[in-house]
Amino acid sequence: MRCFCLLIGLLVLTFMPARAGHSAPKIVFRIHVQTTGEGLSAQQATVIRIPPNGDPVQVRTLPEITEQEIVDVQPNAAGGIHVTFNHVGTVALNAVTAQNQGRLLVVLIDGFVIYAPIIDEQIENGQLDIPHPISPQIVQLLQDQARKNVKQAARS
């Protein structure tokens, strides 16, 4: 009987979602910056293929900004989006665009590159326009994540 109870307990734990402060995001938004890879270990640099030709670009493995820093997402008339970041995201975007002029800023949603412009100016206002069409479902998920971030910040 004791073994049966232990087995049931393990099964329950296996299928229950983890609760380490917050649930996993429903959408993964990452901004990486291109790097030469010099002085970085294999774990610190990753190759990402940039559409449409699949050109390989090396980026820092850890993202500069994630979905946790988004506080607003608004669609624009062209089908793209205007993303606003919180203070942490604003500082990161400011620093990465100041220090990496001429390199690519690679924006991924759920692991797919959606935008990869060459950094030609510093972005100080914490806002990024992504001009490429994004599906309404993805926009909604990003907006949901932004609302969640704002609520969590208000509770802190």
Low-confidence ranges of the chain (pLDDT < 70): 1-25
Among residues 15, 48, 55, the alpha carbon closest in space to that of 33 is found at: 48
Tell the CATH topology of 25-155: Gyrase A; domain 2 (3.30.1360)
What pLDDT, in 10s, does the model give residues 102-131? 999 999 999 999 999 999 999 999 999 999
- pTM above threshold 0.85: no
- Domain definitions of the chain by residue range: 25-155
> Tell me, what amino acid is at 14?
T
